[in-house]
Amino acid sequence: MNRRSLFASLLAVPLLAAAGPSPTGPQPELPKEELVIVTHDGVRHFFHVEMALSMDQQVTGLMFRPDVPADGGMLFDWGVPRTSQMWMRNTISSLDMLFINPDGTIRSIAEHTVPQSLAVIDSRGPVRATLELAAGTAERLDIRVGDKVQQRIFADAP
């Protein structure tokens, strides 16, 4: 880890802690919207994802949830492109994290994240959103960097 990454990771923890008290249980299910991932071979995969829009919703995310449905997940809309730094604190099920550019292309993927880990999972550049899916989804559906996510927040929503 270079000095810049280390510095960014140290900043991420205080920023989340400053958002308010630490959650002690799962948040109520958030409103869901349709999302489509179009893979490199043209296959369309449909999901109904919870929309994490507010700071409180984003800080809690999928913490304490025992599982994530195969066709579900959570989309963190950052509003504007920015570096996304996630962690698995209080998250008890492994996830795949897709970091998505403003045009809907997948910038990077973190597969099979480690439950309860405080390690920072970085988008490796500015993204518009982060999508959390059940662990193994990217491999099972052959989702790759460069594939396209279609949802209303991206430039080419269906």
Q: What share of the chain is helix, strand, coil (3-state, %, to 5)?
A: 15, 35, 45
Does 9 score more than 50 pLDDT?
Answer: no
Q: Token pair for residue 126?
A: 């500015």
Tell me the whole-structure pTM to 2 decimals: 0.84
Question: In the chain, what are the domains?
Answer: 3-150 (2.60.120.1140)
Residue type, position 131, single letter: L
pLDDT of 117 reads: 94
pLDDT of 157 reads: 62
| pLDDT tens readout for residues 53-105 | 999 999 989 999 999 999 999 999 999 999 999 999 999 999 999 999 999 99
